């Protein structure tokens, strides 16, 4: 687009979200004309007076060309909804961002993407399941999209990096304001060859709680499907799941999550997700080198016979919850197989 500096400064104005900014661009055709327009013209097309006043004040002190150069100096790139490399899936949602800022390589967005989201306060089982699912999804060639938040999001990104895959972190702040701060190193790893970090917020935009629900529509909008691992009531991951359903995307949950049971598919192994997405994938041979004591004991018990989950738990003298979690982890890893009615066998 011509006069990109004027589009970027317009985009920096609080209150000019994607719907209003699109209305301005549709009316003026040229962002330079929009930036220089009178207050009365802007009011005429429905822009609220408070936003118009802010725009008028901002252009007294902000030079569009210098603003553009400052962004370039920070190493941040951008794409607009008018560019050919703008993600096609994201363009289909109701209110796609007019501008996306990024660092790293966004070519991975041309591949099939799946969002992996969940609670910030994950359990040990949630961590393990995220690692197992993400590893297999990456091996199948999928780009992992998440929000760089603490908990499940960070594990999804980190597992992808360790598996030498591609991941996209969608921030709820500007790219110069990485949040949470403890994930700055992870963000840099992503930039350095494992995908990209992106945001619709201007580079220096501060962190507000309200930013995160807004960005969740982008996480789902970039993705063919969303996988929810663990989610608290009224959490951001549930908002992402609901956004995905509204956008016509598939939603998968590991275990039933009552808040999103309508329209979501409960899955127990990555292969179910890949089947639903029409992706053929041959799982790699199970790794027997780093098994826990419980996992080794299960394999010994199932060496020569099939056995019900309750019987396995009794033999090992551990709780039903513990043996259930262990068997689910082993099933995902390709070590055991559920042959129906709670009976398990060793995977051959």
Surface-to-core class of residue 164, CB atoms within 10 Å of its CB (0-12 exposed, 13-18 middle, 19+ buried): exposed
What pLDDT is attached to residue 281?
64
Four-CA torsion 297, 302, 303, 306, nearest 10 degrees: 170
pLDDT in tens, the chain (348 residues): 679 999 999 999 999 999 999 999 999 999 999 999 999 999 999 999 999 999 999 999 999 999 999 999 999 999 999 999 999 999 999 999 999 999 999 999 888 999 999 988 888 888 888 998 999 999 999 999 999 999 999 999 999 999 999 999 999 999 999 999 999 999 999 999 999 999 999 999 988 888 888 999 999 999 999 999 987 665 778 889 889 989 999 999 886 666 666 788 888 888 889 989 888 765 555 566 678 889 999 998 988 888 999 999 999 999 988 999 898 888 877 788 777 788 888 865
* Lookup: tokens for 334: 């390709």
Map tokens 């104005």 to a residue: 13
Residue 206 CA to residue 173 CA, distance in Å, equals 6
CA nearest to 241, candidates 116, 157, 70, 330: 116
Q: What's the CATH fold of domain 293-346? A: Arc Repressor Mutant, subunit A (1.10.10)
Look at residues 213, 214, 216, 252 and name the one whose alpha carbon lies nearest to residue 114: 252
**How many residues make up the chain in this entry?**
348
* 332: DSSP letter: H
Query: In terms of C-beta density within 10 A (0-12 exposed, 13-18 middle, 19 or more buried), how is residue 309 classed?
Result: middle
Q: Beta strand 343-346 with 307-308: parallel, antiparallel or unpaired?
A: antiparallel
- Cα 40 from Cα 268, distance rounded (Å): 58
The rounded distance, in Å, linking the Cα atoms of 134 and 155 is 9
Q: Determine contact, residues 224/113, Cβ cutoff 8 Å.
A: yes
Map out the domains of the chain as residue ranges.
1-73, 104-276, 293-346
- pTM here is 0.80
The C-alpha atoms of residue 187 and residue 195 are separated, in whole angstroms, by: 10
Contacts of 9 (CB under 8 A, 6+ apart): 35, 58, 59, 62, 64, 67
For 146, the token pair is 């998440």
Q: How far apart are CA 305 and CA 16, in angstroms?
A: 65
- Select from 3.40.50.450, 3.30.360.10, 3.30.360.30, 3.40.190.10 the CATH code of 104-276: 3.40.50.450
Identify whether the C-beta of residue 175 lies closer than 8 Å to the C-beta of residue 203: yes
Q: Which CATH class is domain 1-73?
A: mainly alpha
pLDDT at 290: 78
């Amino acid at each position: 687009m011509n006069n990109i500096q004027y589009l970027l400064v317009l985009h920096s104005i609080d209150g000019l979200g994607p719907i209003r900014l699109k209305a301005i661009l549709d009316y003026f055709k040229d962002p330079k004309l929009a930036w220089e327009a009178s207050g009365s013209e802007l009011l005429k097309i429905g822009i609220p007076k408070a936003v118009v006043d802010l725009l008028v004040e901002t252009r007294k002190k902000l030079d569009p060309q210098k603003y553009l150069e400052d962004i370039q100096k920070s190493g941040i790139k951008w794409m607009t909804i008018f560019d050919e490399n703008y993600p096609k899936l994201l363009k289909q949602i109701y209110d796609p961002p007019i501008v996306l800022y990024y660092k790293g390589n966004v070519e991975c967005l041309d591949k099939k993407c799946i969002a992996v989201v969940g609670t910030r306060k994950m359990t040990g089982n949630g961590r393990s399941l995220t690692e197992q699912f993400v590893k297999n999804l990456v091996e199948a060639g999928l780009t992992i999209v998440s929000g760089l938040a603490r908990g499940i999001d960070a594990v999804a990104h980190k597992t992808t990096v360790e598996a030498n895959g591609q991941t996209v972190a969608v921030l709820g702040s500007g790219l110069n304001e990485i949040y949470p701060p403890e994930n700055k190193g992870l963000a840099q790893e992503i930039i350095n060859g494992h995908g990209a970090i992106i945001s619709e917020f201007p580079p220096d935009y501060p962190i507000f709680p309200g930013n995160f629900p807004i960005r969740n529509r982008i996480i789902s909008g970039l993705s063919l499907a969303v996988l929810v691992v663990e989610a608290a009531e009224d959490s951001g991951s549930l908002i992402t799941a609901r956004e995905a359903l509204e956008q016509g995307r598939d939603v998968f949950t590991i275990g039933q999550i009552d808040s999103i049971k309508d329209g979501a598919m409960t899955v127990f192994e990555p292969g179910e997700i890949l089947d639903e997405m029409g992706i053929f994938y041959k799982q790699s041979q199970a790794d027997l080198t780093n098994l826990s004591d419980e996992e080794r004991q299960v394999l010994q018990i199932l060496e020569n016979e099939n056995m019900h989950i309750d019987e396995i738990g009794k033999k090992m003298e551990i709780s039903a919850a513990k043996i259930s979690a262990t068997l689910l982890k082993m099933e995902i890893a390709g070590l055991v197989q559920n042959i129906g009615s709670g009976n398990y066998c060793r995977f051959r």
